[in-house]
Amino acid sequence: MAEFTLRKTMIFLEEIAHDGGPSGPARQRGAIVALVKNPFAGGYVEDIASAMDDLKPLGLEMTDKLIAAMGGIEGIDGYGKAAMCGEAGELEHTALWHVPGGYSMRERLGEALAIVPSSMKQGGPGTRIDIPLGHINAAYVRSHFDAMEVGLPDGPKADELLFALAMSRGGRIHARVGGLTVDQISKGDGLR
């Protein structure tokens, strides 16, 4: 069992009333990040896949905290995830977040059919990362293509991983470039 000792979490919340155009219903975006010890930092380990199971409790805990901070599940219709390793880690260590990060949100949000958009990178303290956002039931809903930038001034340290989850209510403010709309979702395949 891999040890991912939690050092800290931080929650980011924003409400967007307008983006240079007329005011309308506010859009809410939220993210939570966690800094954990990277048990694989500093050397190559062949078999790391089983560590995804060790991260599932963290994924559920972060999901629950973010949903609570956003005022509950009602209306959350966008999500995404990201991960960053410190300089002693490797990019493959961030891929450990795919299952525990994505499936925790899908489990808690109920009917969520679309793949959870993801980004990964390597960086040090203060490095920012964009968490891509997409609609929870249809990946082709253009109004929900977005990103939320997060980062911490003191991490990730060389031997740490930063894991991030993001959720949103509503599409981009003033979305008007066409494509599949929310009311056209067929809820069949997670794409359309």
On average, the pLDDT of the chain sits at 95
- In this prediction, residues 35-51 reach a mean pLDDT of 97
- In this prediction, residues 2-8 reach a mean pLDDT of 97
Query: Which pLDDT does position 150 carry in this prediction?
Result: 98
Query: Which pLDDT does position 24 carry in this prediction?
Result: 78
Would residue 129 count as lying in a domain? yes
Q: For the chain, how many structural domains are there in total?
A: 1
Kindly report the CATH number assigned to the domain that includes residue 36.
Answer: 3.30.1330.110
Would residue 190 count as lying in a domain? no
Would residue 43 count as lying in a domain? yes
Which value, in Å, is the radius of gyration of the alpha carbons in the chain?
17
Whether 14 shows a pLDDT value over 90: the answer reads: yes
Would residue 19 count as lying in a domain? no
Whether 1 shows a pLDDT value over 90: the answer reads: no
- CA dihedral of residues 44, 60, 65, 185 (deg, nearest 10): 110
Question: What's the domain range around 144?
Answer: 6-13+26-184
Whether 190 shows a pLDDT value over 90: the answer reads: no
Whether 30 shows a pLDDT value over 90: the answer reads: yes
- Global pTM value: 0.96
CB 102 within 8 A of CB 81: yes
Q: Write out pLDDT tens, residues 58-106.
A: 999 999 999 999 999 999 999 999 999 999 999 999 999 999 999 999 9
Q: Is 54 left (phi over 0), alpha (psi -120 to 50) or beta?
A: alpha
Q: Write out pLDDT tens, residues 109-148.
A: 998 999 999 999 999 999 999 999 999 999 999 999 999 9
Would residue 166 count as lying in a domain? yes
Query: Which pLDDT does position 19 carry in this prediction?
Result: 83
Would residue 82 count as lying in a domain? yes
Would residue 71 count as lying in a domain? yes
Would residue 192 count as lying in a domain? no
Whether 188 shows a pLDDT value over 90: the answer reads: no
Specify the DSSP element, H or E, that contains 120.
strand 118-122
